[in-house]
Amino acid sequence: MNMDKLTNQVSDWLKGSGPDADIIISTRLRLARNIRGFVFLSYALAKQRIEIESFVHEKLKKVPFHDKLIYIQMKDLSLIDRQFLVERHLISQDHAKASSYRAVAVERKETLSIMVNEEDHLRLQVILAGFQLADGWKEINKIDTQMEKYIPYAFSPQFGYLTACPTNVGTALRISVMLHLPALAIARQIDKVLNALSRIKFAVRGFYGEGTQALGDFYQISNQVTLGKSEQEIINEMQNVIPEIIKFERNWREKLLDDNNKKLKDSIMRAYGILRHAETITSEETMKHLSLIRLGINMNVIKDTTLKKINELFIYTQPAHLQKISKRELAPSLRDIARAKYIKAHLN
């Protein structure tokens, strides 16, 4: 079935290329959209949710890019499959947890996903490898325009796009850039960066959103304000801030290599050694070591593996991915063994 195709492929945005791929994993843009003539989901009854879902399902069969979409109803998915989609960054945790007539349409290369009946009727997401704000915007804007021809959006000339939660009203655009900042973490400069970002109204989360901060030294930076600015202004602000953080991280990488070359290389190589030999390992420990290895590749300390392979390992060693690969449910202690085995097979 459709899920199998996803299990066996690697998301396009994980390929480890794209601008500034040494630091930026991905650029993600999300538009919240609601359909004119339907009640917001916070007030919707089951009957109305069903109507919305089938309305969207029908319309998506007609959009120009319809033949590239895999349409999945959440009710058809096991808990592991749902978690798998979360780990793949294709749906939100909320979308995985709740039932009630939700769906997701995923474009075959996983660049585009459209959640149906999440917080809003529609959540469009485009995710690209590396730092690609302009291309990302071009892509999601095109998708949005094509969809608007088939689906009438709830739009107010005064407020812009209307959304279930007022914090999204206006452009309803959220840009999230995923940065890998191991040098700033090692140099204990990261709090300084995060505080500065929060002062200028950027939100910072971890690899899997809220509460996963610092896992693998990944930081997801997003705009918080969607109202009172045009899409281009939001993009411009992001375009101004991110390169500063990139520069700061790169400077610290150089500084660490200069000042404490041997100690840093030692930490990197030990992480590599542990991942290549451990017989059992948790997800948290894995991410910690992978982060150092990723840094090692970018600093040319590790030469016999690739960014692509390490980016993939971050995702494929997550619990649901491991269980999908093993084709069965695994208790946490067995997952730790399967994880160690998987990593060894892919690093040796």
Interface with a second copy (CB under 8 A), residue from 272, 314, 316, 342: 272
Told to check if 278 binds a second copy by CB under 8 A, we report yes
CA separation for the pair 169, 271 (Å, rounded)? 45
Q: Would you mind telling me the total number of residues written for the chain in this entry?
A: 348
Nearer to a second copy, 24 or 340 (CB): 340
Told to check if 259 binds a second copy by CB under 8 A, we report no
Closest CA to 195 of 204, 208, 187: 204
- Determine the residue type at 246: I
Span near a second copy by CB under 8 A; candidates 1-9, 213-221, 244-252, 267-275: 267-275
167-205: burial string, b at 16+ Cβ within 10 Å, e else: ebbbbbbbbbbbbbbbbbbbbebbeebbeebeeeebebb
- Determine the residue type at 153: Y
C-alpha radius of gyration, the chain, whole number = 21
Span near a second copy by CB under 8 A; candidates 43-51, 152-160, 189-197, 276-284: 276-284
Q: Return the axis-axis angle of helices 79-87 and 319-326, rounded to nearest 10°.
A: 120
Going residue by residue from 115 to 144, which x/- string records binding to a second copy, judged by CB under 8 A?
Answer: ------------------------------
Least distance between a second copy and beta carbon 304 (Å): 12
Interface with a second copy (CB under 8 A), residue from 153, 337, 341, 346: 337
- Determine the residue type at 338: A
Contacts of 330 (CB under 8 A, 6+ apart): 322, 323, 338
CA separation for the pair 305, 301 (Å, rounded)? 11
Number of residues lying near a second copy (CB under 8 A) = 18
Interface with a second copy (CB under 8 A), residue from 36, 138, 247, 263: 263
Told to check if 108 binds a second copy by CB under 8 A, we report no
15 close to 109: Cβ distance less than 8 angstroms? no
Told to check if 273 binds a second copy by CB under 8 A, we report yes
Nearer to a second copy, 101 or 272 (CB): 272
Interface with a second copy (CB under 8 A), residue from 279, 300, 331, 332: 279
Told to check if 247 binds a second copy by CB under 8 A, we report no
54: left (phi over 0), alpha (psi -120 to 50) or beta: alpha
- The residues in 157-216 that bind a second copy, with binding defined as CB under 8 A, are none
Q: Which residues bind a second copy (CB under 8 A)?
A: 262-263, 265-266, 269-270, 272-281, 337, 340
